[in-house]
Copies of this chain bind each other. A is one copy, B any other.
Amino acid sequence: MHYTFLGPSGTFTEQALLSVDKAAESTRTPSTSVPAALEKVLGGEVDAAMVPIENSVEGGVTATLDAIASAQDARIIAEVLVPISFVLVAAPGTTLDDMQTISTHTHAWAQVRKWAEQTVPHAHYLPGSSTAAAALGLLTSENPGYEAAICSPIVAEQNPQLEVLASNIGDNKHAVTRFVLVARNHEIPAPTGADKTTLVVPLPEDRPGALLDLLEQFSTRGINLSRIESRPTGEFLGAYFFSIDVDGHIYDARVRDALRGLHRVSPGIKFIGSYPRADLRNTVTEDIHQDPAFDAARDWVESLFPEGRPEHLRHGI
């Protein structure tokens, strides 16, 4: 297997990839952006890409939603949750009082802002292209323009020349980032009973109730939404698509049934994948939304045509 991930090495994204079975022994190539990582997957250069999708500190969250939405054949095949924590690193001998400028990724800075205001109120912030790049800049550049960087503990471990001045400095001690492993459109992981299905659904038109029409396709089948995010399509202000996670697997009859209903309302819908939930929480539904109820309903309708439906009557199902 050959993997890529949103680089550089040492980010939380590589950490997420390493939690995937056998990824540690596989080839892992960093990519400079989420679209670049997906291009490698879709072009066949690599087998799969690990990218952040929710609440990330490395950026790339909305970029990931947009990149996946616009890709033709991207499929999520796994998700990984990684607790996020930050350390402040500097060249050995540096003290907190010394530092005039700190560099890190903008999203990481946002997550340590309160700590920084209290602890190093005198320090300026300089944006870096990633947390790892900011940290490594302290080692590779003679005059990087800053004295300290904020990065993941893993980078500090991998680079013992960096001194850790402060640990666990994130403002939210329970911060978690969700990452997904994206592959080409070829196979769907087997259902586990604790699965998610990810969809991209364009909002059909600007009229009262369009979103309601979409959501009713889930509610009338007892399907729970675990995430819904709107993103502009970029075509014009007010044109949206929704990135949606629901509980359940496309192997569940209710999910397939909802997909058909959604396709009628919004034919541009994309199926992004069914895959095991990272939190292993089993999906619970009423009996009337489970496979046997769908089987019974199908059999009942067929029984209304005692001699079988006429051949020309294969519309829909």
Contact = CB atoms under 8 A, between A and B. Distances in A.
A315 B288 contact: no
Interface stretch (A9-17, A88-96, A151-159, A249-257): A249-257
A260 B106 contact: no
Range class of the A interface residue count: 35 or more
A313 to B, nearest CB: 6
Contacts of A225: 208, 211
A85 to B, nearest CB: 15
Contact of A316 (B126, B211, B295): B295
Given A234-B172, A304-B271, A317 B256 contact: yes
A189 interface: no
A304 to B, nearest CB: 5
A298 interface: yes
B212 A208 contact: no
Interface in A197-233: 206-209, 211-213, 215-220, 222-230, 232
Nearest to A203: B228
A313 B274 CA distance: 15
A40 interface: no
A267 B295 CA distance: 12
Q: Top 4 A-B pairs ranked by shortest CB distance? A: A253-B316, A294-B316, A263-B297, A291-B315
30 contacts: A55-B237, A62-B62, A81-B237, A106-B106, A127-B127, A176-B236, A186-B306, A207-B224, A208-B218, A208-B219, A208-B222, A208-B223, A208-B224, A212-B216, A215-B215, A216-B220, A227-B240, A228-B230, A251-B315, A256-B317, A257-B316, A259-B300, A260-B298, A260-B301, A264-B288, A264-B294, A267-B293, A267-B296, A291-B315, A298-B317
